[in-house]
Amino acid sequence: MTQQMPNDEVDTALILEGELKRRVNEVVEKVVVNMVGKIIHQELNKYKAEMLMEVSINVGRMLRMVENEGRKPLWEATPEEFGLTHEELNRSHIEKETDDALR
């Protein structure tokens, strides 16, 4: 014959079991979230490093190609080398002429 526990003890045991489950789930969730977050962060850093390496390699290739062709990089060129004058590049001058023409 099984011994029955009084209702108060059963209630207390159920409450403690529920609280224990809640705490375990809370701890497990925190640990899992932290682990997953750490793994994602590591993978993103690895991917970012790979992308930066790819960009660096491609920029180096372009610079070597420009150098081998005897050209100079665009950022070293002057507007005159493209046939442009400073007046053509001066936006405020063009805007003033446009405003005058509209009046």
Domains of the chain by residue range: 8-71, 72-103
Quickly count: other Cβ atoms within 10 Å of residue 103's Cβ: 4
Q: Residues in the chain, how many?
A: 103
Q: How confident is the model at residue 1 (pLDDT cuts 50, 70, 90)?
A: very low
Model confidence, pTM: 0.45
HEC readout, 42-67 = HHHHHHHHHHHHHHHHHHHHHHHHHH
Average pLDDT across the chain, whole number: 83
pLDDT by residue (tens digit) across 22-44?
988 898 888 888 999 999 999 99
Per-residue CA distances from 22 to 18, 50, 66, 74 (Å): 6, 42, 65, 64
- The answer to whether residues 7 and 13 touch, using CB atoms and an 8 Å cutoff, is no
**pLDDT at residue 71 greater than cutoff 90:** no
